[in-house]
Amino acid sequence: MALLVFAISLVGLVGLQSRSVETERAANEVREGQKIAAEVMSELQSRSFCDLLLTDFEGGLPASLAPDQGYTDAGVDLNDPVLRRLRGYARPPMGSDPGTGNWVGVDGKYVVFRRVTWQVDPLAAPPYPPVTEDDYAAIFGLNLEVLVLWVDQTSSNSPPPVGLLPTTLTPAMIQPGDPNFPFVGRVSLTNFKTNDVATPPCQP
């Protein structure tokens, strides 16, 4: 009887340890996602108001900055060396082997999505692109959004579908009604870029 109780206790302990490891892995992945989101937002904030207003992520004039549209980096290649939409995951506690210097992590685990919209009075929205001083004065600023997604593989009891990869993730998958919702990790950040144009118009 005592042996049976010991065996049951041992199985329970192993289960607890396994869940603890999975929880720690999930926390590490979230922290890395937060770090990436903060880096990307910092990159956006480093750009001028005029640059963000008149240049989309593909280097052209945005089609729209309307709150329900704006422009995104969805059309940019995931392997673009400038925007680096795919980011690696550095396995804790470091991203490289101190002995060899080789990368220790998962390449391309995270995928980044950026979106820019403007903030204006919806009843007095200026034309886009703005032309006159009054047009510029009607723009309060720009809303900056960063979304970082990854495939959550931390649960041994509920692994993600085989075909779900970082390169197949989309923002729509974080909606509760999406079948992939339980398997998609996400971190989002929003910020605001104030209209600081002293002498409009902006120059592209």
Q: What is the pLDDT of residues 12-59, one digit of tens each?
A: 444 444 456 567 888 999 999 999 999 999 999 999 999 999 999 999
Q: How many CB atoms lie within 10 A of CB 66?
A: 15
Q: Which among 39, 113, 45 has a CA at the least distance from the CA of 75?
A: 113
Residue 65's pLDDT is 94
Residue 155's pLDDT is 83
| pLDDT band at residue 4 under the 50/70/90 scheme | very low
Domain boundaries, the chain: 2-194
Kind plus residue range of the DSSP H or E element containing 14: helix 2-45
Buried b (16+ CB within 10 A) or exposed e, 145-155: bbbbbbbbbbe
Task: State yes or no: cis peptide before 127, omega within 30 of 0.
Answer: no
**Concatenated DSSP letters for 98-165?**
TTT--B-EEEEEEEEEEEEEEEE-TTSPPPSS--SHHHHHTEEEEEEEEEEEEE----TTSPPPTT--
Residue 204's pLDDT is 60
Contact status, residue 62 vs residue 56, Cβ threshold 8 Å:
yes
Does the pLDDT of residue 156 top 90, yes or no?
no
In terms of pLDDT, which residue wins out, 70 or 6?
A: 70
Contact status, residue 187 vs residue 148, Cβ threshold 8 Å:
yes
Contact status, residue 125 vs residue 138, Cβ threshold 8 Å:
yes
Q: State residue 96 phi and psi, 5-degree precision.
A: -145, 150
Residue 199's pLDDT is 87
Q: State residue 46 phi and psi, 5-degree precision.
A: -75, -15
Residues 6 or more apart whose Cβ sits within 8 Å of residue 135: 126, 127, 200
Q: What CA–CA distance (Å, rounded) separates 190 from 146?
A: 6
Q: What CA–CA distance (Å, rounded) separates 56 from 61?
A: 6
Residues 6 or more apart whose Cβ sits within 8 Å of residue 81: none
Residue 11's pLDDT is 47
Q: Where are the beta strands (DSSP E) in 23-104?
A: 71-72, 86-90
Q: In a 3-state reduction of DSSP, which class is residue 180?
A: coil
Residue 42's pLDDT is 97
Q: Which amino acid, one-letter code, is at 61?
A: L
For 86-141, the pLDDT digits (tens) are 998 865 555 455 455 554 457 789 999 999 999 999 999 999 999 999 999 999 99
Lowest mean pLDDT among 151-155, 169-173, 184-188: 151-155
